[in-house]
Structure 1
Amino acid sequence: MLSIEAVSAKLRITEIFASVQGESTRVGLPTVFVRLTGCPLRCGWCDTEYAFQGGESRSIADVCDAVAAHGLHHVCVTGGEPLAQRACLALLTALCDAGFSVSLETSGALDIAPVDPRVSRIMDLKAPGSGEVSRNRWDNLPHLTSHDEIKIVLADEADYAWAKAQITLHALAQRCTVLLSPVQGKLDATELAEWIVRDRLPVRFQLQLHKILWNDARGR
């Protein structure tokens, strides 16, 4: 049963759709995506600018019903930046209460501590090439557990060097799975894979599966 807060809460939703998860350790799993509208960041390689504005106001109950109608177990709440909407926290809890396996795609610029612990938090660290490195909320790191993941998207070799330094400085791989991705069209994926192997980095290399399959933003 939804809490009183959740019953009255409204969210701006850009889209709800079923696809194959294109990123994270859940890659390849049929998943329902709930894309919330709005984002306070402007990353140079963003592929979801269409979600910055607009959207439709929907209740949490309506969103949960729309998710359930797809008949899938895995749900990914994404954006934009979903945590920029206060009611996102109640939505995440409602989805967990409904029995879904829930992941959250978040930029790492906002506080992740209040997120329901049943949710797998897929948190970005913004490398310099994103243009938003100053927005990283380093206070989030102590809240990460083995249930969560860190994603770092890299535009060039300088971004890779930065990521390698952060992995060592903050012992990131001891906290949770760390995923390194190349920006499509900017950093050669083969080069990134070779750097990771050369340096014996304790990370997981990933490509955006949805870009390979559909050349768009479906799947994150």
Structure 2
Amino acid sequence: MSERKKTLTINEIYHSIQGESTWVGWPCVFARVTFCNLRCNYCDTEYAFYEGIKRSLGEILDAVAAYRCPLVEITGGEPLLQKNVLPLMSMLCNSGYTVLLETSGAHDISKVDPRVHRIMDLKTPGSGEVDKNLWSNIDHLTARDEVKFVMGSREDYEWSRDKVQRYDLPARCRAVLFSPIFGRIDPRQIVEWILADKLHVRFQLQMHKFIWSPTQRGV
């Protein structure tokens, strides 16, 4: 079977503004992949757990190309649950796109094409899924990658701070991102804690949730 005929179950493909990471603000095509084995209690894309249709990699490439946008993010759900996401990302890189992968810290990132910018979301205690983190992934981080911590409490912050310092994450990757759970914690608190502890991390908000309704899909 040719690479273009392989299939993925895709929830949606859309064109919007990148709302997170160091790529925030740039126009971006998002390919949202179906299925996730985690159930973070703050998840804002539960519709991607099961909704989706099978599409060939060729069809996905054509859908992305129609937007004429050089930046593409593969997100979910959890993209790495479907093995054919790996050749898709390589095909996108071969076509000249800058490719981002949004993935949890629960799956092996070592097989991802090294040209891809991996944004790994390590799960904090407040997510309810902290025991799913695959700590060996830290050894595979490069200067192209980013590590995100989503937090809703002081406990989450202190846990994240400990991991940043223990693994010297700022020296391992492009950026370490601290992000508040939308609506659960005052973002200013996290900023004040970062400043007090003099952490070398980047604070971020989910910009798309301030431009559109926080529950709007396809943005």
The TM-score bracket by the shorter chain reads: over 0.9
Partner of 2:116: 119
| Aligned equivalents of 1:102, 1:219: Cα separation in 2 | 19
Q: Cα 1:217–1:197, aligned 2, differ >3 Å: closer, same or farther?
A: farther
Matched, 1:139 2:136: yes
Other-structure match for 2:13: 16
**Which runs of structure 1 show a deviation greater than 2 angstroms over 4 or more consecutive aligned residues?**
216-220
User: Identity, % of aligned pairs?
Assistant: 52
1:162-201 to 2 correspondences below 5 Å: 162-176=159-173, 177-201=175-199
Task: State the SS of the aligned residue for 1:191.
Answer: helix
| CA drift at 1:155 | 1.0
**SS of residue in 1 equivalent to 2:88:** helix
User: 2:86 maps to what in 1?
Assistant: 89
Identify if the C-alpha distance between structure 1 residues 183 and 217 changes in structure 2 by more than 3 Å, giving closer, same or farther.
farther
Query: Which residue in the other structure is 1:102 paired with?
Result: 99
> SS of the counterpart of 1:192?
helix
TM superposition score normalised by structure 1: 0.96
SS at match of 1:160: helix
d(CA) in 2 for partners of 1:217 and 1:154?
Answer: 22
SS in 2 for 1:42: coil
The one-letter amino acid paired with 2:176 is V
One-letter amino acid matched to 2:183: G
1:71-97 per-position Cα deviation (integer Å, ceiling 9, x unaligned)? 101000000000001100011001101
> Which ranges of structure 2 fall in alignment gaps of 5 or more residues?
none
CA distance in 2, matches of 1:119, 1:219: 23
1:98-147 deviation digits (Å, cap 9, x = unpaired): 11000000011000000000000000110000000000000000100010
Superposition deviation, residue 202 in structure 1: 0.6
CA contact (8 A) 1:23 1:219 kept: no
CA distance in 2, matches of 1:179, 1:170: 15
In the other structure, the counterpart of 2:55 is 58
Residue 155 of structure 2: aligned partner: 158
What is the number of equivalent residue pairs in this alignment?
A: 217
Q: Distance in 2 between matches of 1:6 and 1:162?
A: 42
